[in-house]
Chains A and B, each alone.
Chain A
């Protein structure tokens, strides 16, 4: 059942709506990609907005860049704790039969800090340098196998494949079975109503299967000399080698989930943005060194996670509004990334922008995306290799978007490749 109607929201209708009736939690607004019109209005008229009724209950929307920054860096007032609802607009529920995974993204200090510190070295820049040649070699294979001049779905053949390939490389995961990683990522975040799993029991079983698989890899690598893959690193590092198994699994899955949808949709979103902005595509073809600044601009433009949520631990004032203890506070990164009081010409995709990394897509403060440099590395490699091979990745039809309030996803993107 759909949560809301699928009718198209026109700009006039949105402008005429009473402001306190605006509800930006409706997934169809994201699927139809009309959500930006709602955020434009909120930023202008009511940048800290209270929605009394919605399918996820009452919530505050924080829509301006600086207010989002203030909430994101104030973890003493704004909690990420799973038991209070966690980090997304939809509460994390304790469901019977579900496997409760411990992930530090939904924890507050001090536990958050200990766990994050234990796994951070896996994606630290110096380790990424060691992995770069393998990631590049595998990206080249995928791109070399693509058909020229023939229409195909970029999401399935490239975005998913490249992201999965990188994950498999990071974990040194058995190559032929790499789509298991994609599946486990989907299962980790799935509730039965998504259709991905039949029930919470089925989800639990699949995650236990995942746990056993990783235990096998761990047991094998703990007895071998240390290598550069994440499992070997975690099996040998003093901070992680004695981690309780469910904690190890939770953190492993967090790395898989964190690197899956996000990068996938930035790969697709970049192709779409360049096609919608042909002058920028021309700039890129004339000067591929612009890939360095284009990559963070793609991540801003796409904003693959639309928001993060916090729960207020005490009363607090933001933008003249009184937040009460226990209130749900949603930081709309997608809106803050279009705030033209902070970002010059924020509604334009500009690949040679100054300060391109000054965006909200990774969040800020102690929960800032741990894989942010890995995300940039992947996108840089991919665009360098695309540029060498193809004069244009031409979008040949309408993209299809994901029905989700959290993941700003592109599910289908028909393209045709032009050889260089």
Chain B
């Protein structure tokens, strides 16, 4: 299992566990973390599992790559930043133990 912390827009912190091999999207949905919708089912197709990776983690998780589907979708998301990622595109590996993700106020 890998531990992930989701921080809501009001500052509430939720530490959850998820099996290795799942993604951060499942970590939120399977543990009832509010604010992650994930309408498309994890196919990088809707941008409703938008998260801001904590700046201390962004290099490990990796930034958006221009021209790829994830960046193309997130350019339209409200409040997208240099730390934006789609949770469905963050694989949960042992190296992600302790990851901190910030959930935006609204998914869109």
Residues of A within 8 A of B (CB): 69, 72-73, 109, 113, 116-117, 120-121, 124-126, 355, 357-358, 364-366, 368, 370, 373
Contacts and interface: CB of A to CB of B under 8 A. Distances in A.
B45 A69 contact: yes
A380 to B, nearest CB: 14
B76 A364 contact: no
Given A69-B45, A365-B45, A109 B78 contact: no
Contacts of A355: 41
A365 B76 CA distance: 11
Nearest to B48: A357
Nearest to A296: B39
Interface in B82-108: 105-108
Contact of A73 (B37, B44, B107): B44
A339 to B, nearest CB: 13
Q: Which 10 residue pairs across A and B have the least CB separation, nearest first?
A: A125-B106, A364-B45, A357-B39, A124-B78, A73-B45, A120-B76, A125-B108, A358-B41, A366-B72, A364-B40
By DSSP majority rule, is chain A's interface helix, strand, loop, or mixed? helix
B107 A125 contact: yes
A298 B44 CA distance: 24
Given A121-B78, A126-B78, A69 B106 contact: no
Given A125-B107, A358-B39, A368-B45, 18 more contacts: A69-B40, A69-B43, A69-B45, A72-B45, A73-B43, A73-B45, A109-B72, A120-B76, A121-B78, A126-B78, A126-B105, A355-B41, A364-B40, A365-B45, A366-B73, A366-B76, A368-B47, A373-B108
B104 to A, nearest CB: 9
Nearest to A364: B45
Contacts of A125: 78, 105-108
Contacts of B40: 69, 358, 364
B20 to A, nearest CB: 23
